[in-house]
Amino acid sequence: MMIPPIAQVHLKPMAGVLQARGVILLAFDQECSACASYGVTKAECKQMARLLDEIADQIDAGKLVPWDDGFLLHEIKR
């Protein structure tokens, strides 16, 4: 199963409903993942993108493991 791409148009309404200044969405399947970030202002958007990059780097480095018995259980290790 392929996760469809996530667009910022999906995140803006989510931010509104949550009354959030920024949103990061991560979607996982056993074989693939998709992610996106959104910030209300340009500065908040950049901050969310930086945070998402840090999360992705931790996943790529094996320090944050999305699938451990089917659940997200590991913390980011510094």
Its domain, for residue 50, covers: 8-60
CA 10 to chain centre: 13
- Number of domains observed in the structure of the chain: 1
Report CA torsion sign: 67, 71, 51, 40.
Answer: positive
Q: Flag whether 15 is in a domain.
A: yes
Tokens of 16: 């509104």
Q: Flag whether 53 is in a domain.
A: yes
Alpha helices in 19-75 (DSSP H): 42-60
Q: Flag whether 76 is in a domain.
A: no
The residue written with tokens 């992610």 in the block is: 35
Helix (H) or strand (E) holding 25: strand 22-28
Q: Flag whether 1 is in a domain.
A: no
Q: Flag whether 43 is in a domain.
A: yes
What pLDDT, on a 0 to 100 scale, did the predictor assign at position 77? 47
Q: What is the pLDDT along the chain (78 residues), one digit of tens a residue?
A: 566 677 777 899 999 999 999 999 988 877 777 889 999 999 999 999 999 999 989 888 888 877 766 554 444 444
Q: Flag whether 71 is in a domain.
A: no
In degrees and rounded to multiples of 5, residue 38 shows phi and psi of -150, 140
